[in-house]
Amino acid sequence: MALQSLNAFLVALRMMESGGDYQAVNTLNFLGAYQFGEAALIDLGYVRRDGDPYDNNYAGGWTGKHGVDSAKEFLASRTVQDRAAEAWVKLMWHYIEAENLDRHAWTEVGGRELAPSGMLAASHLLGTYALEEYIRTDGRADLRDPYGMPISNYIARMADVDVPFGPKEPRKTLSTSGRNDS
């Protein structure tokens, strides 16, 4: 079940990020099906740190992890991109826990229930700092990526995708009397 739900999340994420195109490179030089930037690829061990990990020029060079020595090789390998994405969402959930944001799972923020999958997607889009701002301001700080995509969009669109992270959804009761009154 855990692997199946993680795979479903990754399919949904890559469809949102690139329409599933493993060769995609956007105008800001984010790479592949999951649109990885330099900072994420540094965190994952694929790229060496350079002077600015956010400029996406990959000037620190590639480490050779999983046999990848260039952006071209990274883009050519679905397997490597999928492995990187699996490691990335695990790392993102670790960052969410490190910031104690996981305690907000299944609470309502800005009129939306925060599912762990939505929290992960939001963190992928803009990082845990943006997710933290969204939670802290009850959704009023609906930060956007450089293309104008609001974090709330990722929270909402990915809310129904199960992930093997975070607390499970609390059981809903039918009514306060314990019976279905409909």
Domains of the chain, earliest start first: 2-157 (1.10.530)
Which carries the bigger pLDDT value, residue 167 or residue 172? 167
pLDDT at 172: 57
Per residue in 48-76, pLDDT tens?
999 999 999 999 999 999 999 999 999 99
DSSP 3-state of 112:
strand
What's the whole-number mean pLDDT along residues 82-96? 97
pLDDT at 1: 43
Note the pTM of the prediction, 2 decimals: 0.88
| C-alpha distances in Å from residue 60, one per residue of 20, 30, 32, 53, 114 | 27, 16, 19, 9, 36
**What confidence category does residue 167 fall into, taking pLDDT thresholds of 50, 70 and 90?**
confident
| C-alpha distances in Å from residue 71, one per residue of 35, 46, 142 | 12, 10, 32
**Average pLDDT for the chain:** 92
Per residue in 98-152, pLDDT tens?
999 999 999 999 999 999 999 999 999 999 999 999 999 999 999 999 999 999 9
